[in-house]
Chains A and B, each alone.
Chain A
Amino acid sequence: MTTERLLPAIDLHSAPFWEGTTHGELRVQRCAACGHLRFPPRPFCPVCTSDAVQWRAMAGTGSIWSFVVVHPPVLEAYLPFAPYNVIVVELDEDPAIRMVGNLVSASSTVPNSVDRAELAVGRRVRVVFDTIEGVALPLWTLV
């Protein structure tokens, strides 16, 4: 049982995504055979079963698909922020490509730095990055 912020396991298939975030890029897998975009990363294209993969940098813009406000009890590392928001963003390039993140203010990466009243489905957002123990997590600010 950890007392630290949770981090994603980075494996063969997800490494290019996390390499992208350290360079300020939001990369999504694109099937090299049929062009289908897919996320989260995995080895095969569900449309054509090809395992030939390209990575495409997304514009990093989208809109809030849904959101929650998390209240305690939570893991120790998340208590200082609670209650805090978690959002799901749909990307402009393909609304079926969605990512989990936090909505943060322009000046802070803390997931309770935005007023609760600002949270709404459909709000336009842009990606920013916050590095925790060497992993650059995508976060989102209001456009």
Chain B
Amino acid sequence: MKDATAIVGIGQTPFAKELAGTEVALACRAIRAALADAGIAPSEVDGLASYTLEPLVEMDVARNLGFSDVRFFSQVGYGGGAGCAVVGHAAMAVATGHARVAVAWRSRKRGSAENRPWANVEQVIEGHPAWSRPWGLLRPADEVAMMTRRSMHEYGLTRDHLANVALAARKHANRNPDAVMYERPLTREQYFAARWISEPLCLFDNCLESDGAVACVVVSAEQARDCRQAPVYVHAYAQAISPQLQPMTNFFCPDPLRGPAWNCARDLWAGADFGPGDVDVVQLYDAFTPLVLWSLEAYGFCGRGEAGDFSSASNLEWPGGSLPVNTSGGGLSEVYIHGFNLVTEGVRQIRGTSTNQVEDAQRCLVASAEGVPTSALLLSGSRP
């Protein structure tokens, strides 16, 4: 499917701590905007891809937006691991002829405290969390903190390294008027003064709790040439579950710090005509700061255990950094909608329309969450 499809439209709602309207309505607004961006009528849509966590079925979107003949629909699980896979499934459907115009989206209302999944559990815990939550490992932050402490022990990761990720994201958001944290600068002093959430993670190691929706439109490379926007080609796509993976609490396999992103990276690069050294800009799932560092290692931008040092030379920041990361502000500072805003920022970079535009960006890696069944995309501005 290399370069067989392209993203030709992107759309989004405003991003905020709290938005009016249902997740269905937000999804429809983002999809409508993405189709308008592409110059494609809603009646032409015949493929749908979304997250399983979406509390709506495809029919609701199809009925609201008047899709006439849906012939492909797919949902991908595991929250933050799903973002690139949703686009990948849409691209596979188009590449194989099962759909001609596919839309992929994520809509999420998470800003208000009652919407936080960890706070809405029953007393008796089913499934894999039964082996962690009874002892008080309650929230995703606690689970990632456990891996972070181990990473500090094995690799010499420090809180300064984590701060590098948080500060880079905030600087990017401070130049992105759509970002929730657009007008909220962050200093290293503020980072270290912040309250703990789960030691060794503090408040600013955690993503935003926010509302918003993002969508994109995928068509064939041939059809893309007739669309309003310059095509952003889906150059490669991969999805992975690593051996013995237990999502978020991946403590029960022989090498927990080598998560599914490593398997995903191997397959992604195997399907690409270029390697990590040829990438201009990256968007890495960042529900928590250490995930960005682990993903830099997994996708081959530095060696295992070296991402902390890699982050120290301002490499992650635009302008000036050798590998600008999460140039919209990402989940830490733009909006947290399970990483789908990373996909649209990747598209903007290739189009040349980011508010933190890497000069002549032609190749962008987008990666979904390390530590859960995951996925990744390589986006390219030109067909080789």
Contact = CB atoms under 8 A, between A and B. Distances in A.
B135 A102 contact: yes
Given A14-B130, A68-B149, A75 B121 contact: yes
A16 B244 CA distance: 21
Contacts of A70: 136-138, 142, 198
B252 to A, nearest CB: 6
A129 interface: no
Given A8-B131, A78-B136, A100-B131, A121 B149 contact: yes
A67 B121 contact: no
Interface string A71-96: 10111001001011010100000001
Contacts of B197: 71
A117 interface: no
A39 B244 CA distance: 10
A5 interface: yes
A75 B138 contact: yes
A99 B124 CA distance: 19
Q: Specify which of A46, A73, A83, A100 lies most central, judged by the most chain B CB atoms within 10 Å of its CB.
A: A100
A65 B246 CA distance: 17
A114 B39 CA distance: 63
B150 interface: yes
Contacts of B125: 6-9
B302 interface: no
Given A40-B252, A78-B138, A66 B149 contact: yes
A115 interface: no
Contact of A9 (B126, B150, B254): B126
A4 B244 contact: no
A7 B124 contact: yes
Interface in A34-82: 39-40, 46, 65-71, 73-75, 78, 81
A71 B195 contact: yes
Contacts of A12: none
B162 to A, nearest CB: 14
B20 interface: no
A121 B153 contact: yes
Interface in B153-182: 153
Given A7-B124, A83-B196, A101-B135, 11 more contacts: A1-B120, A9-B126, A40-B128, A65-B150, A68-B199, A68-B200, A69-B196, A70-B137, A84-B136, A88-B146, A122-B153
Interface of B: 118-128, 130-139, 142, 145-147, 149-150, 153, 195-200, 243-244, 246, 249, 251-254
Interface of A: 1-2, 4-9, 14, 39-40, 46, 65-71, 73-75, 78, 81, 83-84, 86, 88, 96, 98-102, 111, 121-122, 132, 135, 137, 139
- Which 6 A-B residue pairings sit nearest by Cβ, starting from the closest? A8-B130, A2-B123, A69-B199, A66-B150, A68-B145, A121-B153
